[in-house]
């Protein structure tokens, strides 16, 4: 219920911002501060937004020095043409190529607090995990704003892009990206709707090189699988990410196995798996793990790659 309420509230906020922007109905005492892509960008700071932990985050001015602590958020910032204001990223932020030129502040789970503070950011964007929450505790009392973005499905990815666009002062660009994603999703929905339920394959997604770590319900990757026309065999076993037993894998016997790391040949050769129909039929596919695991602007490309594995 809390997530549903948050989604409704965020949807309303984004719609209001877009409507006001499009209609030119921003407060009369706010003058154009700069231009961006040929459009006037109105100064709306100080700006207060609510992040995905329900925290109210206030920015006194447009952020000029941003540190991104998640690859998906780095991709969003660069897609918004705001990469020039990104001064620091994690070791895993290697897309787009320009992101590799930014200062590194450590891995997602072993961030370097001193490196982050040395960059003097006025905004930090981050995901949500116990490890990150513990690491970011050093920010309390520093006055540095940090925004937690944690989308759990495709709709929330679009809302997250709109929220970040609002925060960094690029609402029009955010609106364009969201519109493009929505068009891609609509095209995929039309393609999948033409496929009979009986022809939609049962799917196991393997997101670890050794264990049977997979995704159940309540995560955007699960949403991605169903949107691409697959039936996730782990959907009824739990929520979030968890490890499935090999016994359960054989019991459910998926028609398709998706590997988010290059594992196809190894899995096909695994002696104990020769009884699985996905192995017998050669239906194990390596996919681009970044496209299906990063809730960002390339998510439709991940959906299309999954669709290709399921039906082409």
Examine the domain organization and report whether 227 and 111 are in the same domain: no
DSSP 49-77: EE-TTS-EEEESS---SEEE-SHHHHHHH
The average pLDDT across 145-162 equals 95
Examine the domain organization and report whether 304 and 236 are in the same domain: yes
Helix segments in 140-219, DSSP class H:
154-168, 171-193
Omega into 46 within 30° of 0, i.e. cis?
yes
Q: Is the confidence at residue 3, as pLDDT, over 50?
A: no
Integer Cα distance of 127 and 222 in angstroms: 18
Residue at which a domain ends, from 178, 212, 240 = 178
Examine the domain organization and report whether 26 and 66 are in the same domain: yes
pLDDT at 216: 94
Task: With respect to residue 76, please indicate whether it lies within any of the assigned structural domains.
Answer: yes
Residue 142, classed as helix, strand or coil, is coil
The average pLDDT across 186-200 equals 96
Examine the domain organization and report whether 97 and 59 are in the same domain: yes
Residue at which a domain ends, from 130, 148, 178 = 178
Task: With respect to residue 61, please indicate whether it lies within any of the assigned structural domains.
Answer: yes
Integer Cα distance of 52 and 163 in angstroms: 10
Examine the domain organization and report whether 124 and 46 are in the same domain: yes
The average pLDDT across 245-253 equals 97
pLDDT bucket at 97, cuts 50 / 70 / 90 = very high
Q: Is the confidence at residue 201, as pLDDT, over 90?
A: yes
Q: Residue 234: exposed, middle, or buried by beta-carbon count in 10 A (0-12, 13-18, 19+)?
A: buried
Backbone angles phi, psi at 226, to 5 degrees: -70, -35
CATH number of the structural domain spanning residue 239: 3.40.50.1980
Number of domains observed in the structure of the chain: 2
What domain range includes position 134?
2-178
Examine the domain organization and report whether 23 and 107 are in the same domain: yes
User: In this structure, what is the dihedral angle of CA atoms 257, 261, 262, 267, given to the nearest 10 degrees?
Assistant: -40
Task: With respect to residue 183, please indicate whether it lies within any of the assigned structural domains.
Answer: no
At CA 46, angle to CA 41 and CA 49, rounded to 5?
Answer: 90
Q: Do the beta carbons of residue 167 and residue 47 sit within 8 Å? A: yes
Helix segments in the chain, DSSP class H:
2-23, 71-79, 113-118, 130-135, 154-168, 171-193, 220-227, 246-252, 264-269, 277-280, 289-293, 299-311
Q: Report the percent of the chain where pLDDT is more than 90.
A: 75
pLDDT at 284: 97
Question: Per residue in 56-93, pLDDT tens?
Answer: 999 999 999 999 999 999 999 999 999 999 999 999 99
Integer Cα distance of 40 and 36 in angstroms: 6
Task: With respect to residue 74, please indicate whether it lies within any of the assigned structural domains.
Answer: yes
Q: Is the dihedral of CA 271, 305, 93, 185 positive or negative?
A: negative
Examine the domain organization and report whether 212 and 153 are in the same domain: no
Examine the domain organization and report whether 172 and 199 are in the same domain: no
Q: Is the confidence at residue 108, as pLDDT, over 90?
A: no
Examine the domain organization and report whether 307 and 277 are in the same domain: yes
DSSP letter (8 states) at residue 221: H
Examine the domain organization and report whether 26 and 122 are in the same domain: yes
Task: With respect to residue 188, please indicate whether it lies within any of the assigned structural domains.
Answer: no
Task: With respect to residue 184, please indicate whether it lies within any of the assigned structural domains.
Answer: no
Examine the domain organization and report whether 7 and 123 are in the same domain: yes
Examine the domain organization and report whether 200 and 261 are in the same domain: yes
- Looking at every residue in the chain, the average pLDDT score rounds to 87
Residue at which a domain ends, from 131, 146, 178 = 178
């Amino acid at each position: 219920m809390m997530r549903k309420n948050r989604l409704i509230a965020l949807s309303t906020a984004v719609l209001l911002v877009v409507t006001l922007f499009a209609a030119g109905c921003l407060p009369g005492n706010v003058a154009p501060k700069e231009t961006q892509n040929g459009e006037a960008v109105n100064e709306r700071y100080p700006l207060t937004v609510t992040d995905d932990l329900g925290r109210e985050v206030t920015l006194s001015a447009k952020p000029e020095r941003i540190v991104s602590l998640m690859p998906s958020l780095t991709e969003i910032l660069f897609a918004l043409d705001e990469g020039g204001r990104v001064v620091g990223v994690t070791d895993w932020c290697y897309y787009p190529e320009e992101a590799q030129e930014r200062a590194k502040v450590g891995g997602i789970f072993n961030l370097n607090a001193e490196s982050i503070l040395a960059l003097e950011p006025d905004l930090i964007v981050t995901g949500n995990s116990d490890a990150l929450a513990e690491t970011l505790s050093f920010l309390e009392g520093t006055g540095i704003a940090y925004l937690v973005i944690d989308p759990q499905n495709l709709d929330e990815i679009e809302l997250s892009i709109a929220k970040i666009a609002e925060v960094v002062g690029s609402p029009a660009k955010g609106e364009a990206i969201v519109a493009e994603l929505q068009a891609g999703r609509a095209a995929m929905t039309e393609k999948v709707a033409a496929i009979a339920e009986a022809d939609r394959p049962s799917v196991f997604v393997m997101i670890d090189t050794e264990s049977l770590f997979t995704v159940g319900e309540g995560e955007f990757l699960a949403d991605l699988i169903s949107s691409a026309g697959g039936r996730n065999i782990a959907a009824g076993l739990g929520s979030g990410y968890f490890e499935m037993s090999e016994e359960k894998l054989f019991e459910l016997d998926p028609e398709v196995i998706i590997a988010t790391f290059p594992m196809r040949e190894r899995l096909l050769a695994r002696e104990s798996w020769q009884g699985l129909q996905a192995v017998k039929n050669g239906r194990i596919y390596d996919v681009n793990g970044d496209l299906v695991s990063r809730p960002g602007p390339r998510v439709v490309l991940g959906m299309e790659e999954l669709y290709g594995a399921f039906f082409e």
